[in-house]
Structure 1
């Protein structure tokens, strides 16, 4: 199976937040989302989806833990709401994953959700967090 011409998410400087750990983890999430798209038409799609989703869950769990520890360390006042967004992401991804293994529509919905959530979360929530930390010289 040939990969698509363009990845769903292309990393660029606009996604860089300036925290080495968070940026490295975000880049890995981008790779995993793009791998999901690359496997959209694979004959063994179910296996590939489960592999990608499992890697994404494990990586997201580590990333969310690191990000939430960072929020606690810098005294981020919106920490609880931000952490709840992480939990909502996990719940919604679980729901969509359960449906996408045999039906193409939920698979596309899962990809769309992952791309939209990543771009929105990084561009708004994480950017706000890093701006707060930089204002406190914690970054």
Structure 2
């Protein structure tokens, strides 16, 4: 099953949307690699890419939110920090028991991305629109 970007996740902020699409594509590549039985090194590389893309994306979102004085910034940053902690833990655990965990990570990430964009990121978009900033 593919992890597919859907236009319902468009925020209207180009860089944010591009990074969301990149995250979905990375999760999909990871899922495909795991399902096709890719070697441990390939999966490890994709996990590292996912961590890196997530860190960069969260920093981008947080900078936008801080710039516009988003009132829920603290909560949003906490969600990002929690996600990064979980992602780093999963990456570290992958090194111990790679196959079983590798199967879980794409499902975990896909669910988190969909929920976070729909519930968290759209709160920021609504905030921007209410102030005619987007």
TM-score normalised per structure 2: 0.91
Task: Structure 1: state its 5+ residue gaps.
Answer: 1-5
Match of 1:124 in 2: 119
Match of 2:86 in 1: 92
Q: How does 1:36-115 map to 2 (within 5 A)?
A: 36-40=30-34, 41-44=36-39, 46-101=40-95, 102-115=97-110
Match of 1:17 among 8, 11, 24: 11
Question: How far does the alpha carbon of each residue in 1:90-117 deviate from its partner, in whole angstroms, 9 at most, with x for none?
Answer: 1111111222343433222222210110
Q: Answer with 19-28 or 89-98: which moved more.
A: 89-98
3-state SS of 1:118 partner: helix
How far has the Cα of 1:48 moved from its partner?
1.4
Given that residues 26 and 46 in structure 2 are in contact (C-alpha distance below 8 angstroms), is that contact kept between their aligned partners in structure 1? yes
Given that residues 51 and 88 in structure 2 are in contact (C-alpha distance below 8 angstroms), is that contact kept between their aligned partners in structure 1? no
Given that residues 71 and 129 in structure 1 are in contact (C-alpha distance below 8 angstroms), is that contact kept between their aligned partners in structure 2? yes
Higher RCO structure (Cα 8 Å, ≥6 apart): 2
**Counterparts of 2:15 and 2:50, CA distance in 1:** 16
Question: Relative to total residues, which structure has the larger helix share, 1 or 2?
Answer: 2
Task: Structure 2: state its 5+ residue gaps.
Answer: none
TM-score normalised per structure 1: 0.88
The alignment covers a number of residue pairs equal to 132
